[in-house]
Amino acid sequence: SSELTQDPAVSVALGQTVRITCQGDSLRSFSATWYQLKPGQAPLLVIFLKDRRPSGIPDRFSASSSGDTASLTITGAQAEDEADYYCNSRDSSGHHLVFGGGTKLTVL
């Protein structure tokens, strides 16, 4: 079982704001990284180093964290943001990596 917990599915109206959360004890020690997965495509890093966006990731993607919960926020969701989103961090030992179960985002 995953040590990081995500809601299986979230929906958002086009242009509105949505928050995807990730919860786990390891997040008290290690920040979450966020990835976007679309069928048939290479997974894409969207947030790293706590709240940084790689080149090419729109600034509507942002991240925050508090205690054992990390959040990915999309402000003004677009149709192309419809995808599966996974959080990831080091586990409590610090020597391994764990992924959340993923959140399927639907843009209505």
Cβ contact 85:20 at 8 Å:
yes
Cβ contact 22:6 at 8 Å:
yes
What is the rounded CA–CA span in Å between residue 26 and residue 94? 9
Question: Shortest approach of another protein to residue 45 CB, angstroms?
Answer: 5
Interface pick for another protein out of 53, 83, 102, 107 (rule CB under 8 A):
102
* Beta-carbon contacts of residue 84 (< 8 Å; ≥ 6 apart): 36, 37, 38, 102, 103, 104, 105
The contact mask relative to another protein for 77-96 (x = CB under 8 A, - = no) is ---------x-xxx----xx
Q: Residue 76 or 91: which CB sits closer to another protein?
A: 91
**Structure tokens that stand for 15 in this block:** 């242009």
Q: Looking only at residues 21 through 50 of this chain, which bind another protein when binding is defined by CB under 8 A?
A: 30-31, 33, 35, 37, 40-45, 48-49
Q: What residues make contact with another protein under the rule CB under 8 A?
A: 2, 30-31, 33, 35, 37, 40-45, 48-49, 54, 86, 88-90, 95-102
